[in-house]
Structure 1
């Protein structure tokens, strides 16, 4: 067994815990036992069995199996053709959603994934006890999830288009955003995007864009020293007159008066 040293850096999203490899002896077994973190084994050669939840799976070269924190599992190398595997342990707040997107739903504990063998070959070459070790492992984990997601890629559902549109608007509301350009980026018709967005959210993409812009403008007017003109430009309006007109339609007062009003309320609270 070749186990490498990993410094637990406590990365909040995806945090490598351990890695190594083992060419097992015939019949070599581990478990039943549990772990405190997620652990993936990738079978480079040979075969064996992996048991979880009362079900035993026969696995071979190119398969990978996942052990989740707290799960009782058992695995054993074949007597005639014992496996060699590489393992990688990790934890972090992003583990569950990333594993879900990579095809490891709650009832899935293994995958046949020969297309990612190159990543585990690369894992062998990552030196331990180096300043870059943990970052290299973290990078490899993201590559692994990306490769598994790509294998499972399917036609986008309407809800996915809506989520991508709303995420894009929230990230780019300060820029010259057009619904036509978003639809083109997603590879769908603008009218179709508007229709499914309205169905999912109760508003059109354009209405959502205006809502995000005005909400951010109100926050700037209330909590920053930006002028009305600077506020308008900060939320994607080059024409301050047009911005003021849209703002007044939403809040019933002009941006300048909104600032005065909120400033007075803050002062009253302080007094």
Structure 2
């Protein structure tokens, strides 16, 4: 018997729950060959059955989950002797492709054996529907599921991954007294290796990238906020305002004070 629950489509941009429910299937119960507009994951709580996709049939058991992608035609059937019971959740959102890839669901992979996700799906089944919190709770559990799946990925990090992590760390922490040595230590790699692969991937060194991020943000603050030059310098990671002004002038050709004054003059001329 299937128990399907009501979901309000809130159109969350990143990860958006569409449907959820559970079913204790009768022996031989089957479903398939129906196209959907969203991703759908089934998690097998007990029993076993088969899942067919792209001409290949997989025998799945308790602790396995299988993924159906948007527009995909699949077929799945409960075992005649020990029919499965599963919990499902459907979702869409802009983050789905990247989250699924990082979770091991590549184009050639449509199922995973994840027994440690059992308690998470039990929690999912207990989420009451038609509540203001329903969709947020479902979204939280989806992120939890992807966290479990990603933790199983033991593949080595690539240079591109190290570069992406370095770039994101700098964008998030440019206001702090960070160094390339500290970033390399955090990533567990040699500083010279980090500098080499960063330069190869981006065309600039990590230090040059850090300066670029800081100065771009400084220019934004001078344009859009009431921060003084000293406050701007400290906001982007420079305690020495004179050093900040020197570096700023090297990039923009004028001092921070003149930069702001020129913007103010242009605004005044425009208003007149």
Q: Which range, TM-score by smaller chain?
A: over 0.9
| Structure 1 match to 2:224 | 223
TM-score (norm. length: structure 1): 0.92
Secondary structure of 2:33's partner? Answer: strand
Q: Report how far residue 121 of structure 1 moved.
A: 2.1
Q: Report how far residue 137 of structure 1 moved.
A: 1.4
| Structure 2 match to 1:174 | 175
Q: Report how far residue 27 of structure 1 moved.
A: 1.3
2:98 counterpart of 1:90: no
Q: Distance in 2 between matches of 1:6 and 1:252?
A: 56
Most deviating of 205-214 and 176-185: 176-185
C-alpha RMSD of matched pairs (Å) = 1.8
| Structure 2 match to 1:185 | 186
Aligned residues: 271
Secondary structure of 1:123's partner? Answer: helix
Secondary structure of 1:195's partner? Answer: helix
Residues 172-196 of structure 1: CA distance to partner in whole angstroms, max 9, x if unpaired? 1111112222122212222222222
Q: Distance in 1 between matches of 2:46 and 2:158?
A: 38
Residues 143-162 of structure 1: CA distance to partner in whole angstroms, max 9, x if unpaired? 11000000013222122111
TM-score (norm. length: structure 2): 0.92
- In structure 1, list runs of 5 or more residues that go unmatched: none
Residues 96-129 of structure 1: CA distance to partner in whole angstroms, max 9, x if unpaired? 2111111111232212222222211222222223
List structure 1 segments (4+ residues) > 6 angstroms apart after TM superposition. Answer: none
| Structure 2 match to 1:255 | 256
Q: Distance in 2 between matches of 1:197 and 1:269?
A: 42
Q: Distance in 1 between matches of 2:217 and 2:22?
A: 51
What pairs with 1:34-183 in structure 2 (closer than 5 Å)?
A: 34-183=35-184
Q: Distance in 2 between matches of 1:114 and 1:197?
A: 38
Most deviating of 194-203 and 124-133: 124-133
